[in-house]
Amino acid sequence: MSRPDLVLLHAPSVYDFRETSIMFGPVSDLVPSSPIFEMYPLGFTTMAEYMERHGLHVRIVNLAMHMLSNAKYDVEKAIRQMEPVAFGIDLHWLPHAHGSIEIARICKKYHPNTPVIFGGLSSTYFHEELATYDCVDYVLRGDSTEEPFTQLMFALKRGGSVSDIPNLTYKSPDGSITVNPLSFVPDTFNHVKLDYAYSMRSVIRDRDMTSSLPFKGWLSYPVTASLTCRGCTKLCPTCGGSAYSFAQHFGRKAPAFRDPELLVSDIAHVKKHIPGPVFILNDFQQAGQEYIEAFLTGLRRINFNNPIGFEFFTPPTEEFCALLDENLNDWSVEVSCESHDDAVRAAFGKHYTFEEVAESIETALKHNCSRFDLYFMTGIPTQTAQSVLDTVPAVRDLYARVNNDKRLLAFISPMAPFLDPGSMVFDNPEAYGYKLRAKTLEEHRQLLLQPSWKHILNYEPDGMTRDEMVDTIYEAAIGFNQIKAAIGIADPAVEQITELRIREAHAAMARIDEIIAGTTGPEREQQLADFQHEVDRLNESTVCEKSELNWPAQVTWTHVFSNIALWFRVNFETIFPKTRKFEPQPVEWEN
């Protein structure tokens, strides 16, 4: 097997979480990852596929996943044995601020002359500070780095100049930092492949399944995600991926949409090989009526039978639900309405009423929607502790209104661990009634080492104290759990276990505060270390069972046969590789 040109490393949120007692809390309860955020950005696969298409050899190593799956996994040994031309590390989500830098330090410890390249939305926001760390040589900014990264890799291989590479921030040998213009911001999202072909090929070629898995438990719940665009048309003030953030910090004035035909062919490829549900992220209604029709009729054409879920930014209308029903076999919806209170939701930037939410749910269920997931959040502008608690009876009434239909699934979680860098609130906290507890990257790194999520939070909203945020989320989660138990959404025994776990997690938070208040220095360290086993036990799935998020999946013989065919093809290509090209090929832009 040839030496990879690039190794892309995904770090755990905190390095080394296995040896540190941190009560991460419900920070990741509503995403597939565990609290160490083992999922790598989708961009890893688009970058890897794009580079391989242009003659480079790329390997993804999901270190976070290896560390989670094997308590003895030796990260230093694994990195020492790697010999790429360069390392790439994602700092896309800010919760990786600690782990990503520590991994970069290990890369430099064993390979002082190998360039370390960072990228992702948080890297873009903090690019200049990031480049001041000794272990970071390059930062590639923006939401579309496939092409500039390929140019950088060829320059590094040849020892050429990097001064013309777009979007690049880099350190010169004298330590000075140069910021090249953020000029590569493509209008469309059509130049990459999002069909998981790279991931499937690399599992077979590199004989390393763990490195490619997107999150713990993926093999038993093989969900895949498709993105309709990069960017967003909405202006939610706490979101670091809003139209404001993209325009202000990532150089993007309008979303780059993926052609609906390409999106359909991504999904057709997934359908052939992976039996799980497909989740369509970034509301495709943003792209307009023509796009909606092309995408839905395309899905009908490929006879898409896997469960398919859509993220919608506003509650879907009757007409739209009818259209989904007409074209799809098994469809679900996810809407984040944030609060039952219209004023709080409006302060979050979402201007529709709870009545409209209820009507939309009724309509969707009437039109055979398989599941309607409704998300609530705490810690948002103007929200008070009482408002969070009032969400519980409002949700109970909502269930009653739809005759306790089990297809409605409501979830609640806090905005944690961080308010997004580059969001309107982060850039102008006072205007929204927020106090920031950290501003720089290094301050966030230090926060991540605090003993509980209450102390890790990078903000304090003026409607609630952080203590109230903790108390209300656990209390509201118990309320949601009891509603689901009464309706029979889950097994009563499971609901009881969940409630006990929520109460224990709440008590553990109080115990950690007691330790902090009553001790200092080594004594505090010791008491926290003694408490670690309890913290580790309570760290996952606090507010609900992870499995509550899952849609059903089914394996058929066609999946088995097409994966066997893929296995033979990749092994053949590995033994008889194609001649590698050493020049980047021109990109075909579709405007």
The one segment of 87-95, 153-161, 438-446, 550-558 that binds ligand B12 by CB under 6 A: 87-95
- Between β-strands 256-257 and 229-230, what pairing exists: parallel, antiparallel or unpaired? antiparallel
Contact predicate 144/138, CB 8 Å: no
Size of the site for ligand B12 (CB under 6 A): 41
Task: Work out what residue 463 binds among ligand B12, ligand SF4, none; the CB cut-off runs from 5 to 8 Å by kind.
Answer: none
Task: Read off the tokens for 148.
Answer: 């500039």
Cα dihedral across residues 499, 500, 505, 510: positive or negative: positive
Q: What is the residue type of 285?
A: Q
Contact predicate 40/214, CB 8 Å: yes
Rounded Cα distance, 35 and 29, in Å:
8
* Phi, psi values for residue 573, rounded to 5°: -65, -30
Helices 492-518 and 521-530: crossing angle, nearest 10°? 170
Task: Read off the tokens for 126.
Answer: 């903090």
Q: Which is nearer to ligand SF4, 60 or 236 (CB)?
A: 236
Burial 96-134 (b: 16+ CB within 10 A, else e): bbbbbbbbbebbbeebeebbbbbbbbbbbbbbeebbebe
Q: What is the residue type of 298?
A: G
Rounded Cα distance, 105 and 261, in Å:
43
Task: Work out what residue 27 binds among ligand SF4, ligand B12, none; the CB cut-off runs from 5 to 8 Å by kind.
Answer: ligand B12
Task: Work out what residue 115 binds among ligand B12, ligand SF4, none; the CB cut-off runs from 5 to 8 Å by kind.
Answer: none
Q: Which is nearer to ligand SF4, 58 or 425 (CB)?
A: 425
Q: Which position has the token pair 């996952």?
A: 540
Task: Work out what residue 28 binds among ligand SF4, ligand B12, none; the CB cut-off runs from 5 to 8 Å by kind.
Answer: ligand B12
332: β partners: 309, 371
The one segment of 15-23, 40-48, 70-78, 320-328 that binds ligand B12 by CB under 6 A: 40-48
Rounded Cα distance, 59 and 88, in Å:
10
Cα 113 to the center of its chain, rounded Å: 31
Residues 214-273 that bind ligand SF4 (CB under 6 A): 232, 234, 236, 239, 241-242
Rounded Cα distance, 226 and 579, in Å:
31
Binding mask 287-326 for ligand B12 (x = CB under 6 A): ----------------------------------------
CB of 286 to ligand SF4, least distance (A): 9
Rounded Cα distance, 584 and 150, in Å:
7
| Consecutive H or E run containing 348 | none
CB of 348 to ligand SF4, least distance (A): 8
Task: Work out what residue 222 binds among ligand B12, ligand SF4, none; the CB cut-off runs from 5 to 8 Å by kind.
Answer: none
Q: Which is nearer to ligand SF4, 341 or 545 (CB)?
A: 341
CB of 430 to ligand B12, least distance (A): 21
Task: Work out what residue 88 binds among ligand B12, ligand SF4, none; the CB cut-off runs from 5 to 8 Å by kind.
Answer: ligand B12
Query: Residues 51, 121, 347, 357: which binds ligand B12 (CB under 6 A)?
Result: 121
Query: Residues 17, 24, 118, 453: which binds ligand B12 (CB under 6 A)?
Result: 118
Rounded Cα distance, 263 and 285, in Å:
14
The one segment of 90-98, 200-208, 290-298, 564-572 that binds ligand B12 by CB under 6 A: 90-98
Task: Work out what residue 179 binds among ligand SF4, ligand B12, none; the CB cut-off runs from 5 to 8 Å by kind.
Answer: none
Q: Which is nearer to ligand SF4, 39 or 232 (CB)?
A: 232
Rounded Cα distance, 26 and 538, in Å:
10
Rounded Cα distance, 159 and 538, in Å:
50
Does 313 sit near ligand SF4 (CB under 6 A)? yes
Task: Work out what residue 234 binds among ligand SF4, ligand B12, none; the CB cut-off runs from 5 to 8 Å by kind.
Answer: ligand SF4
Does 127 sit near ligand B12 (CB under 6 A)? no
Query: Residues 281, 394, 494, 516: which binds ligand B12 (CB under 6 A)?
Result: 281
Q: Which is nearer to ligand SF4, 236 or 416 (CB)?
A: 236
Smallest CA-to-CA distance from 97 within 441, 458, 439 is with 441
Contact predicate 590/259, CB 8 Å: yes
Instruction: State the Cα angle at 575 between 569 and 579, rounded to 5°.
Output: 95
Task: Work out what residue 421 binds among ligand B12, ligand SF4, none; the CB cut-off runs from 5 to 8 Å by kind.
Answer: ligand B12
The one segment of 25-33, 198-206, 359-367, 432-440 that binds ligand B12 by CB under 6 A: 25-33
CB of 492 to ligand B12, least distance (A): 28
Instruction: Name the residues that contact ligand SF4, by CB under 6 A.
Output: 232, 234, 236, 239, 241-242, 313
Instruction: Name the residues that contact ligand B12, by CB under 6 A.
Output: 27-28, 31, 33, 37, 39, 41-43, 46-47, 88-90, 92-95, 117-122, 140, 143-146, 149, 225, 227, 230, 232, 239-241, 281-282, 420-421
